[in-house]
């Protein structure tokens, strides 16, 4: 497993531009989270307006949150359980047939470890999640991480480094638990 890549710094915090982006997102998220659970068409319309791109067969449960929205790209048959948060100050790419259990956090954003101006700027490092990935409940995926196809992140894990394809990782920080045999795929 390798570590995160270099990020893109942003100095928008407190600017009119970021406030406008935030207002747009907050209105869409409120509408999505307040949507009648039986109104699948409206929920899908709101997600397609919010996300940069989305495949067919998407299902996201109540209490979803994100930073900007348009930096999120999901493939087909994506499922996110309750209380999913995606901080998308950088792009987040999620492949086909992925499942997130409740309380999953995807965090591209971070701040300097130096106290000077820590609260005035930050950075975003893209996150990529491959196809057929299952992320267990209460997991955190940190900036710059890439998760390979067919992998599983066990519940409660904090993923700080790349996850190879066909593996199961667990813990804080997440470490290799086992390889997934070809016949298990």
pLDDT tens digit string along 64-85? Answer: 999 999 999 999 999 999 999 9
At 4 the pLDDT is: 40
Under 8 Å between Cβ of 124 and 7: yes
Give pLDDT, residue 33.
97
Structure tokens at 69: 């929205």
- The CATH code of domain 8-184 reads 2.160.10.10
Q: What is the pTM (predicted TM-score) of this model?
A: 0.91
List Cβ<8 Å contacts ≥24 apart for 28-36. Answer: 28/69, 29/64, 29/65, 29/66, 29/69, 32/60, 32/64, 33/62, 33/63, 33/64
pLDDT tens for 83-141 read 999 999 999 999 999 999 999 999 999 887 888 877 777 889 999 999 999 999 999 99
CB contact at 8 A, 67 and 89 = yes
Q: In this structure, what is the dihedral angle of CA atoms 106, 108, 114, 120, given to the nearest 10 degrees?
A: -110
What average pLDDT does the segment 8-28 reach? Answer: 78
In whole angstroms, give the CA distance from residue 14 to residue 1: 36
Rounded to whole angstroms, the Cα distance separating 164 from 185 reads 14
- Name the 3-class secondary structure at 45: helix
C-alpha 87, offset from chain centre:
7
| Alpha-carbon torsion, ordered 92, 14, 45, 62, to 10 deg | 80
Mind listing the pLDDT tens digit for each residue in 84-97?
A: 999 999 999 999 99
pLDDT for 3 equals 38
Distance CA 126, CA 143 (A): 6
pLDDT reported for residue 7: 66
pLDDT score, position 13: 58
List the structure tokens of 169: 């990782």
Question: Which residue shows structure tokens 């890549």?
Answer: 5
Q: How far apart are CA 140 and CA 52, in angstroms?
A: 22
Within 10 angstroms of residue 106's Cβ, the number of other Cβ atoms is 25
The mean of the pLDDT values for the chain is: 91
73 is catalytic: no
Sequence ranges of the domains in the chain? 8-184
pLDDT, tens digit, 9 for 90 and up, residues 160-184: 999 999 999 999 999 999 999 866 5
Mean pLDDT of 12-16: 67
Which of 62, 73, 93, 111 is an active site residue? 111
């Amino acid at each position: 497993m390798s570590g995160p890549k270099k990020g893109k710094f942003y100095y928008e915090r407190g600017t009119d531009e970021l406030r406008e982006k935030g207002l747009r997102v907050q209105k869409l998220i409120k509408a999505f989270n307040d949507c009648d659970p039986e109104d699948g068409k409206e929920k899908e319309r709101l997600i397609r307006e919010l996300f940069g791109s989305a495949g067919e067969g998407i299902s996201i449960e109540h209490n979803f949150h994100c930073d900007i929205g348009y930096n999120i790209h999901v493939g087909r048959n994506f499922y996110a359980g309750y209380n999913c948060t995606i901080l998308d100050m950088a792009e987040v790419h999620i492949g086909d047939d992925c499942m997130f259990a409740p309380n999953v956090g995807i965090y591209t954003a971070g701040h300097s470890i130096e106290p000077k101006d820590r609260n005035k700027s930050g950075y975003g490092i893209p996150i990529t999640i491959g196809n057929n990935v299952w992320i267990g409940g209460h997991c955190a995926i940190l900036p710059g991480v890439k998760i390979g196809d067919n992998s599983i992140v066990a519940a409660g894990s904090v993923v700080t480094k790349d996850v190879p394809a066909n593996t199961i990782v667990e813990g804080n920080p997440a470490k290799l638990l086992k390889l997934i045999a070809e016949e298990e795929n």
